[in-house]
A and B are shown apart, each in its own frame.
Chain A
Amino acid sequence: MKDESLNDAIISVKDLKKSFGGTEVLDGVDLDVYKGDVIAIIGPSGCGKSTFLRCLNCLEDPSGGSIFFEGEDLADMKVDINVHRQKIGMVFQQFNLFNNLTVLQNIMLAPVTVAKKNLRATKRKNFFIKVSNIFKKKDNKKELLPLGKTKAEFTEDAKNKAMELLGKIGLTEKADVYPSTLSGGQKQRIAIVRALAMNPKVMLFDEPTSALDPEMVGEVLDLIKKLANEGMTMVIVTHEMGFAREIATRVLFMADKGIAEQGTPEQIFEHPQNPRTIQFLNAVL
Chain B
Amino acid sequence: MKTSWNLFKTQFITYGGYKTVLNGLLTTVEIAVFGLIIGVIIGTLIAIVKVMPKYKKLPRVLDKICTVYVAFFRGTPMVVQLLLGYFVLLPSLGIAADGVTVAITIFGLNSGAYVSEMMRSGIQSVDGGQLEASRALGLTYWTSMMKVVIPQSVKNILPTLGNEFISLVKETSVVSFIAVVDITKAFRSIGDANYEYIIPYLMLAAVYLILVLLITWGIKVMERRMKRNER
Q: Chain A: residues with CB nearer than 8 A to chain B?
A: 57, 59, 82-90, 92, 94, 96-101, 109-110, 113-114, 178, 180-181, 191, 194-195, 198
Q: How far apart are A175's CB and chain B's nearest CB, in angstroms?
A: 15
Are B137 and A194 in contact, with the CB atoms below 8 A? yes
Please measure, in the bound complex, the distance between the C-alpha atom of A82 and the C-alpha atom of B140, giving whole angstroms.
7
Q: Chain B: residues with CB nearer than 8 A to chain A?
A: 127, 129-130, 132-140, 143, 147-148, 151-152, 155, 229-231
Residue of B nearest to A195 (CB): B137
Q: Besides the contacts A59-B136, A92-B132, A92-B133, what 11 more A-B pairs have beta carbons closer than 8 Å?
A: A82-B139, A83-B138, A90-B137, A98-B134, A98-B148, A99-B152, A100-B155, A110-B137, A113-B139, A113-B143, A114-B139
Residues of A within 8 A of B148 (CB): 98, 100-101, 109
Are A110 and B230 in contact, with the CB atoms below 8 A? no
Q: A94-B129, A99-B152 are in contact. Are A178 and B229 (CB under 8 A)?
A: yes
Are A180 and B139 in contact, with the CB atoms below 8 A? no
In the A-B complex, list the 9 residue pairs whose CB atoms are closest, starting with the nearest: A86-B138, A96-B133, A85-B138, A110-B137, A96-B129, A90-B136, A178-B230, A100-B151, A82-B138
Please measure, in the bound complex, the distance between the C-alpha atom of A59 and the C-alpha atom of B140, giving whole angstroms.
13
Are A180 and B231 in contact, with the CB atoms below 8 A? yes
Residues of A within 8 A of B127 (CB): 94, 96
Q: A98-B148, A100-B151, A180-B231 are in contact. Are A85 and B136 (CB under 8 A)?
A: yes
Q: How far apart are B218's CB and chain A's nearest CB, in angstroms?
A: 21
Tell me which of B129, B133, B140, B229 has the highest count of chain A C-beta atoms within 10 A of its own C-beta. Answer: B133
Residues of A within 8 A of B147 (CB): 98, 109, 113
Are A110 and B129 in contact, with the CB atoms below 8 A? no
Q: How far apart are B115's CB and chain A's nearest CB, in angstroms?
A: 19
16 contacting pairs across A/B (C-beta < 8 A): A57-B136, A59-B135, A82-B138, A82-B139, A83-B138, A88-B136, A89-B136, A96-B130, A98-B147, A100-B151, A110-B137, A113-B143, A113-B147, A114-B138, A178-B231, A198-B138
Please measure, in the bound complex, the distance between the C-alpha atom of A177 and the C-alpha atom of B130, giving whole angstroms.
18
Please measure, in the bound complex, the distance between the C-alpha atom of A195 and the C-alpha atom of B135, giving whole angstroms.
12
Cβ-neighbour of B137 out of A94, A99, A109, A178 (below 8 A): A109
Q: How far apart are B165's CB and chain A's nearest CB, in angstroms?
A: 22
Are B136 and A98 in contact, with the CB atoms below 8 A? no
Please measure, in the bound complex, the distance between the C-alpha atom of A100 and the C-alpha atom of B132, giving whole angstroms.
15
Residues of A within 8 A of B136 (CB): 57, 59, 85, 88-90
Are A96 and B132 in contact, with the CB atoms below 8 A? yes
Please measure, in the bound complex, the distance between the C-alpha atom of A97 and the C-alpha atom of B66, giving whole angstroms.
32
Please measure, in the bound complex, the distance between the C-alpha atom of A226 and the C-alpha atom of B208, giving whole angstroms.
64
Q: How far apart are B155's CB and chain A's nearest CB, in angstroms?
A: 7
Cβ-neighbour of B130 out of A57, A86, A89, A98 (below 8 A): A98
Please measure, in the bound complex, the distance between the C-alpha atom of A194 and the C-alpha atom of B229, giving whole angstroms.
21
Please measure, in the bound complex, the distance between the C-alpha atom of A85 and the C-alpha atom of B140, giving whole angstroms.
10
Q: A92-B132, A100-B155 are in contact. Are A181 and B231 (CB under 8 A)?
A: yes
Q: How far apart are B54's CB and chain A's nearest CB, in angstroms?
A: 13
Q: How far apart are A176's CB and chain B's nearest CB, in angstroms?
A: 11
Q: How far apart are A158's CB and chain B's nearest CB, in angstroms?
A: 13
Please measure, in the bound complex, the distance between the C-alpha atom of A191 and the C-alpha atom of B137, giving whole angstroms.
11
Please measure, in the bound complex, the distance between the C-alpha atom of A53 and the C-alpha atom of B154, giving whole angstroms.
32
Residues of A within 8 A of B138 (CB): 82-87, 110, 114, 198
Q: How far apart are B231's CB and chain A's nearest CB, in angstroms?
A: 7
Residues of A within 8 A of B139 (CB): 82, 109-110, 113-114
Are B152 and A100 in contact, with the CB atoms below 8 A? yes
Residues of B within 8 A of A191 (CB): 133
Please measure, in the bound complex, the distance between the C-alpha atom of A51 and the C-alpha atom of B91, giving whole angstroms.
58
Q: How far apart are A95's CB and chain B's nearest CB, in angstroms?
A: 8
Residues of B within 8 A of A84 (CB): 138
Are B230 and A92 in contact, with the CB atoms below 8 A? no
Residues of A within 8 A of B132 (CB): 59, 92, 96
Residue of B nearest to A94 (CB): B129
Residue of A nearest to B129 (CB): A96
